[in-house]
């Protein structure tokens, strides 16, 4: 994606959610694009790039919050009024809407050649393809989780020089910080998705293959190694690693960037656009903040945890669209030049292909460092998928992780409850 193609077209775009409409020629084709991500702000650089082209395609853009979007899409698709191009999540959501998805395999092959798949992250394509024998979408950038961030300058205020890279080092650092009345690790782990991210980092560090086998129903969640993952997750609370009250929710930005009293932040690759685009982080950097990203060795075996990753959004074409060709023109633009424009200007996504180079002059050095670290981790072949494809199983895991954080169940009890849900999960 480093080499930016210029499509021989001119386009126009109307944004329903907050951007002004332009004037359009009477003979242009109109298609609709609906998604929860990007919104009119994060997608503005791509929309501007689209408007600079010319193929007579008028795009009406609608953006809704995720839950509202999914419900709205269900109603519109069932009524035959769905958008021409729309956003999906790989896995369960694409399966749910499978009857409306257009097979883009031949279009991609015609556009980019027989080896077109080499343009995209192979794991992303594997996740999008799933159990099908064709492709029904393409990735609009990626996202990745399993990162542990340290503000080294805040850490130094507690008399600690070395950034911890394993659990024992982290425990020792947190003990020393607590002795001085300071704050330790913050995270959004009180939210279900963040709890899953942390647990998958821990379990993946212990035995990534066994974790994914258990998700697929091919291994038992009561296996000792998976029980140990639940145990380490709970120890983050009982050992005083997390700040007090973490499971009830804390203001991570205030602890980590504003007051700068917590030197540690568990977060995903999306910290890069937060740092780049948030005044609070920029003020912290101006005051000396130095962010060090690592992947943690949770079980002290000398091997850091692999990250999890996946498409941030999968763009799909409605198979009932009356303008398939126009929809494809817009879709292929968005997953190439469009997403490049977004990343170049905001770091909003990780690239879904290799070969991208960040325009460092557009960003501060801390944002560049975080982005490049995350991008390297999804390109080194060790990343596994992030989005669990089984909704009911995922819900039970989240419930048990929350109970572990509240010390209301033991790791063994949590593992047993998840195993029971796994046996009941349809796959």
Is residue 396 a part of any domain in this protein? Answer: no
pLDDT band at 380, cuts 50/70/90? Answer: confident
pLDDT at 13 over 90: no
pLDDT at 389 (0 to 100): 86
167 and 261, same domain (yes or no) = yes
CATH number at 72 reads 3.40.190.10
Is residue 61 a part of any domain in this protein? Answer: yes
135 and 172, same domain (yes or no) = no
Q: Do 268 and 144 touch, CB atoms closer than 8 A? A: yes
pLDDT at 379 (0 to 100): 87
169 and 274, same domain (yes or no) = yes
55 and 181, same domain (yes or no) = no
* Nearest residue to 418 via CA among 198, 247, 214: 214
157 and 110, same domain (yes or no) = no
Is residue 425 a part of any domain in this protein? Answer: no
Residue 49's domain spans which residues? 10-141+312-362
pLDDT band at 27, cuts 50/70/90? Answer: low
Is residue 376 a part of any domain in this protein? Answer: no
Q: Average the pLDDT over 17-23 and give the result.
A: 35
**Which of the residue ranges 11-20, 41-50, 392-401, 402-411 would you say has the lowest mean pLDDT?**
11-20
187 and 237, same domain (yes or no) = yes
What φ, ψ does residue 108 adopt, rounded to 5°? Answer: -65, -40
126 sits in which H/E element:
helix 122-129
Is residue 406 a part of any domain in this protein? Answer: no
249 and 130, same domain (yes or no) = no
Structure tokens given for 86: 């729309």
Percent of the chain exceeding pLDDT 90 equals 89
pLDDT band at 18, cuts 50/70/90? Answer: very low
pLDDT at 12 (0 to 100): 47
In the beta sheet, which residues pair with residue 166? 297
242 and 352, same domain (yes or no) = no
> By three-state DSSP, how is residue 131 classified?
coil
159 and 290, same domain (yes or no) = yes
Q: How many CB atoms are located within 10 Å of the residue 96 CB?
A: 15
Is residue 377 a part of any domain in this protein? Answer: no
> pLDDT per residue over 94-116, tens digit each?
999 999 999 999 999 999 999 99
> pLDDT per residue over 127-184, tens digit each?
999 888 999 999 999 999 999 999 999 999 999 999 999 999 999 999 999 999 999 9
pLDDT at 187 (0 to 100): 97
Is residue 1 a part of any domain in this protein? Answer: no
230 and 154, same domain (yes or no) = yes
Q: How many CB atoms are located within 10 Å of the residue 221 CB?
A: 28
- E strands, 352-403, are 384-385
Structure tokens given for 360: 């460092």
The number of folded domains in the chain is 2
DSSP state letters, 25-46 = -TT-EEEEEEESSS-TTTTHHH
DSSP state letters, 296-355 = -BTTSSS-PPPPEEEES-EEEEBTT-S-HHHHHHHHHHIIIIIHHHHHHHH--SB-SSS-
Is residue 384 a part of any domain in this protein? Answer: no
195 and 70, same domain (yes or no) = no
pLDDT at 11 over 80: no
> pLDDT per residue over 197-217, tens digit each?
999 999 999 999 999 999 999
> By three-state DSSP, how is residue 184 classified?
coil
> pLDDT per residue over 323-353, tens digit each?
999 999 999 999 999 999 999 999 999 999 8
334 and 212, same domain (yes or no) = no
Q: Taking the CA atoms of 264, 265, 269 and 272 in sequence, report the sign of the dihedral they define.
A: negative
């Amino acid at each position: 994606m480093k080499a930016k193609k210029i499509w021989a077209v001119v386009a126009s775009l109307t944004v329903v959610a907050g951007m002004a409409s332009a004037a359009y020629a009477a003979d242009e084709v109109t298609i609709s694009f609906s998604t929860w991500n990007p919104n009119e702000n994060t997608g503005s650089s791509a929309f501007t790039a689209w408007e600079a082209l010319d193929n007579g395609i008028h795009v009406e853009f609608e953006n809704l919050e995720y839950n509202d979007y999914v419900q709205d899409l269900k109603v519109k698709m069932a009524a035959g009024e769905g958008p021409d191009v729309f956003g999906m999540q790989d896995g369960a959501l694409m399966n749910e809407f499978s009857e409306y998805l257009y097979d883009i395999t031949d279009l991609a092959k015609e556009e980019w050649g027989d080896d077109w798949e080499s343009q995209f992250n192979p794991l992303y394509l594997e996740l999008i393809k799933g159990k099908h024998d064709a492709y029904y979408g393409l990735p609009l950038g990626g996202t990745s989780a399993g990162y542990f961030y340290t503000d080294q300058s805040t850490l130094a205020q507690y008399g600690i020089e070395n950034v911890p890279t394993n659990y024992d080092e982290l425990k020792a650092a947190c003990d020393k910080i607590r002795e001085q009345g300071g704050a330790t690790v913050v995270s959004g782990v009180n939210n279900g998705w963040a709890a899953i991210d942390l647990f998958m980092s821990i379990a993946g560090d212990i035995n990534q293959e066994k974790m994914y086998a258990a998700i697929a129903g091919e291994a038992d969640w009561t296996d000792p190694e998976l029980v140990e993952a639940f145990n380490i997750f709970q120890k983050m609370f009982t050992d005083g690693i997390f700040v007090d009250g973490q499971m009830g929710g804390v203001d991570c930005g205030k602890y980590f960037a504003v007051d700068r009293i917590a030197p540690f932040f568990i977060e995903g690759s999306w910290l890069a656009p937060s740092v780049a685009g948030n005044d609070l982080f920029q003020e912290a950097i101006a005051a000396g903040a130095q962010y060090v990203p690592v992947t943690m060795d949770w079980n002290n075996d000398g091997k850091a945890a692999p990250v999890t990753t996946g498409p941030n959004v999968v763009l799909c074409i409605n198979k009932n669209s009356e303008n398939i060709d126009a929809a494809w023109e817009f879709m292929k633009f968005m997953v190439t030049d469009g997403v490049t424009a977004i990343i170049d200007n905001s770091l909003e996504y990780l690239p879904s292909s290799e070969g991208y180079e960040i325009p460092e002059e557009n960003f501060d050095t801390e944002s560049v460092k975080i982005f490049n670290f995350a991008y390297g981790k999804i390109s080194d072949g060790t990343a596994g998928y992030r989005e669990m494809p089984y909704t009911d199983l995922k819900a039970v895991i989240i419930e048990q992780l929350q109970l572990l954080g509240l010390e209301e169940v033991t790791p063994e009890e949590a593992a047993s409850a998840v195993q029971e849900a796994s046996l009941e999960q349809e796959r």
